[in-house]
Amino acid sequence: MKTYQIHLIRHAMTKGNLEGRYIGHTDVPVCEEGFAQLRDIMENYGSYPEVDAVFSSPLKRCLQTAEAIYPGKKPIIMDELIEYDFGEFEGKTAEELADDEDFAEWLSGTNPSKAAPFGDSQVRFNYRVCSCFEKMVDGIIRSGVRSTAVVTHGGVIMSIMAAYALPQAPMHEWLTPNCCGYTLRITPSVWARGMKAEAVSECPSVSDADEAERELWDIYDPDKDEFDVEYWENDENFPDENK
C-alpha cells in the first residue's frame, strides 16, 4: 500500500516567543536562543526526516528554520501557511491585555467566530489553513512525492492536527514546542473517504537512548495509541460528520 508522509515542523524560537507575546503575521526572525535550541536538537536529540520537498510559510522565522534543517532545498512558499492574525493583540502579552474586554471574550474561545480586532477569527483561520492543507495533500498524492516537510507555525499545526489527525484530539492537545512537530501518514484510500491521516510519531524522531531523559515533549505519546488503517478504510466506520 503506497503511503505518503508529511512532517509538520514549527519554526525555531523568536524573541516574541521568549517574551510570551502574541506574534502572528509580524515578520520577526529567529533569535539567537532559537538557533541555539535548533542546533542542540539536531546534535543531541534526534534527526529530522529526509524529505523530497519542503513547504514553508513565507515569514522569516519559518524560512530560516527550513534553511537550517534542510540546507540546499528551496522551499515552496505558501501564503496560507502564515500564523493566525492577532490584529490589535499582535505583539502584546496576556498580562498587557488583562484589562481588555475584547481580549477576554476572544481568549475564552466560547465563540469561534469572534475575531481579534482587525485580525482573524478561529473559523476563518481554520478555513484558510485546512483549505491549504487539503490542496497540498492532493498535490502530493498526484505527484507521488513520498516525504514532505512543512515548516510553519504552532497555530497552523494545531489546526491541521485537530482537523485531520487520527487519533482525534482537540486543538489544545496538539500544542507544539518550537523546532518540533508531528509526522502524518497519508493513506490515499483513507484520505479519499474521510480526509483523515495517521499521526505516527513526533518530529524530529528521538532515539531510544534519549527517550527517558528528553525534555522536548511531554504532551503526546504515540506508542499509547492504537491505529488500524484497515478499520478506517471501511466507510461504515467513519463518524457521520466525515461522510
The domain locations on the chain are 4-242
Please give the residue that has the higher pLDDT: either 235 or 116. Answer: 116
Phi, psi at 242, each rounded to 5°: -100, 0
The model's pTM: 0.85
Q: Which three cell numbers stand for residue 97?
A: 491585555
Q: What is the pLDDT of residue 206?
A: 61
Q: What is the CATH number of domain 4-242?
A: 3.40.50.1240
Q: What is the pLDDT of residue 7?
A: 98
Please give the distance of CA 172 from its chain centroid, rounded to a whole number: 12
Of 48-57, 80-89, 159-168, 212-221, which range is least confident? 212-221
CB 91 within 8 A of CB 21: yes
- For the chain, the C-alpha Rg in angstroms (whole number) is 18
